Each structure stands twice: as structure tokens, then as C-alpha cells.
Amino acid sequence: MDPLISIENLYRYYGSRCAVRDLGFELHRGEVLGLLGPNGAGKSTSMNMIAGNLAPSSGRIRLNGLDLLERPREAKAGLGYLPETPPLYRELTVDEYLRYCARLNRIPRGSAAGAVRRAKARCGLETSGGRLTSNLSKGYQQRVGIAQAIIHDPAVVILDEPTVGLDPIQIREIRALIRELGKAHGVILSTHILPEVQALCTRVLILHRGELAYSGVLGGGADEGAASLLIRLARPPEKPLLAGLPGVEAVETLGQGRYRLHLGAGTATATLAQRLVQNGWGLEELTPEQPGLEQIFVRLTAGEQAAP
């Protein structure tokens, strides 16, 4: 299946400072891609380039196979974008605003009413058409913002911090809406909320200092390797012997011959298991433990201040 978005060797400089360096990834229909990173990591710059609001210094962006720089109008027709602050006109009603958005997206006059009706239905706004956007709650303003992003039925929807400032009930409603969007579109979700990524996303990218520090499928963990091993030994040795095995950084004693071995990056589980057997310690159990998203994020970004 051809990707909806294809990013190759993307760079963006502000003067001498490189805000995004050699970024590359793809997005397919049915995926919800989480874009994570500390402040200053390059998330907003990346999203603005993908949305066509900011020109890259070099590199290529394809939307639905169309080069964004060479054919911007056609490429952007397949894109819907909700910035962190929804672009609402507070003096307009919901219906007035969405009709205006339909015209901006060149929806034919005869099809505009149907497009508005479908966007309202998908976003739970059926009874809000006559209300001023200024009188809506924050959660309903976010719904209107998402409605304008999908009114032209784009292949790709970009959502920048869509649940910031919402109460728990509103967050639940917006997350349910994003899940539905992910079934029919390709979605890029930028957020600081790790549980939100775990709840919504099928894949995650972590940016740090403008570079892609991690790319992985959530729930898989295979490409990250085991963070630790749970083992049980029939004839356990002294703890220092376990700690001295190649790749073992720390050992927790759990009792009854059970230990947790904390592993260094790149440690091969099969090689370590072979050593445990060869040493005659009676290996009875070995369970790899994969790192969670928070562990991965902290390991990649902790201890370094992002560039201003």
C-alpha cells in the first residue's frame, strides 16, 4: 500500500541552528502516528513543514504521492490540520464557520451542505450548528477545530495537542473521536501526554534535538530489545557472578532463586541465556521484559536540555 505521507531527508535551519535534521518516515492509511519529544525537539517545526506552512531547507515531502513543494495546491487538498489553538472565528456560528471552511477547501457549492452535515455528525456537533463558537466549551471548540480539518475528507489529518486544557470527560470524548478518524484516515498526533500516545497510537516517533531518536510500533517492542530479564536458577551463584556477566548492568534479588537482570543497550538475550546454561546454574525460567514508552522516552531524552 502506497504511503499517504513520505518524508525524506528533511532539514530545517533557522540561521545557523538546525531545528530538524535528516528526518524521514512514512504514514499509511489506518495508522495513528504519535509524534513525541521534549520542548525544542523540533516537533512544531516538523509539523509546520508537513502541513505546508513552513518550507524545508532541504529534503522532500510527498502527500498522496504529490511533491508538496512542486505541487502545493494539489498536495494540500489531501491534508487536514488542527493547530494547538483551533483557528476559529468567534463571531460566527458553527454552521457559518464550517460553511466558510468548505469554501476555503474548494468544496463545490452544491456539495458544501452535505460536507458540513457529515463533519458535524462525525464530531458530535449536530445540535450545535446555531451556536456562536465563542459560547462553546473548550471541548466543543476542539470538536469544531477537528470538523474544519476533516470537512473536505482529507487522506491525512494532523492534530497538534488536541486535548490540551480539556477536562477528563472532554479528553475521553476527543480521544474517542481520534480513534474513529484513525480508521479512515492517516493521523499524526503531536502531544506531550505519554498515556495518550499509548491509548491512541499504533506507532510512535520520538524527536530529540531535531533528530529522529526512536521509531517503533507500540506494543511490539521487538526492535527495542529487552530492558531486563526475569530468571530463576536451580543453583544460583553469588550475586557478583551474575553482575559480572557481559551486558548485565545491575542485578535485583527476588528470592527463591529468582533475579531480575538489568541489561545494557544491545545485549543479546540468547547469548546471555547460553552463558547461564554453560555456567551450570540450572536455568529454569527466562522472561524478557520490554521497556515501556516512558522508559524509552526518558532514556533517550533525560539529562540533556533541548536546544532553545
**Is residue 291 predicted with pLDDT exceeding 80?**
no
Give the CATH number, domain containing residue 260. 3.30.70.100
Instruction: Tally the C-alpha atoms within 13 A of residue 196's C-alpha that lie toward its C-beta.
Output: 26
Q: Tell me how many domains the chain contains.
A: 2
In a domain, 295, yes or no: no
Residue 10 belongs to some domain of the structure: yes
pLDDT at res. 220? 45
The one-character DSSP state at 132 is B
Check residue 98 and give its pLDDT. 98
Relative orientation angle of helices 138-150 and 109-122, to the nearest 10 degrees: 140
For residue 275, being part of any structural domain is answered with: yes
Same structural domain for residues 123 and 249? no
Q: Identify whether residues 107 and 153 lie together within a single domain.
A: yes
Q: Are residues 123 and 238 in the same domain?
A: no
> In this predicted model, what pLDDT tens digit does every residue of 90-126 receive, in sequence order?
999 999 999 999 999 999 999 999 999 999 999 999 9
Domain identity same for 103 and 126: yes
* pLDDT tens, position by position, 151-189: 999 999 999 989 988 889 989 999 999 999 999 899 999
- pLDDT (0 to 100) of residue 96: 98
Pair 213, 250 in one domain: no
pLDDT over 60 (residue 224): no
| 103/176 same-domain check | yes
**How distant, in Å, are the alpha carbons of 20, 49, 305 from that of 14?**
10, 13, 19
**Domain end position, chosen among 217, 236, 267:** 217
Interval 20-52: pLDDT, tens: 999 999 999 999 999 998 888 899 899 999 999
265-286 pLDDT, tens per residue?
A: 777 888 888 999 999 999 999 9
The answer to whether residues 228 and 254 touch, using CB atoms and an 8 Å cutoff, is no
Range of the domain at 285: 228-289
Q: Do 141 and 40 sit in the same domain of this protein? A: yes
Q: Are 272 and 247 in contact (CB under 8 A)?
A: yes
The pLDDT of residue 307 is 40
User: Which CATH number belongs to the domain containing residue 126 in this structure?
Assistant: 3.40.50.300
Whether 108 maps to a domain, the answer reads yes
Could you give the CA distance from residue 106 to residue 100 in angstroms, rounded to a whole number? 10
* 241 plus 190 within the same structural domain: no
Lowest mean pLDDT among 132-136, 140-144, 248-252, 297-301: 297-301
Residues 13 and 73 in one domain: yes
Percent helix, percent strand, percent coil in the chain, to nearest 5: 35, 30, 40
Residue 222: inside a domain: no
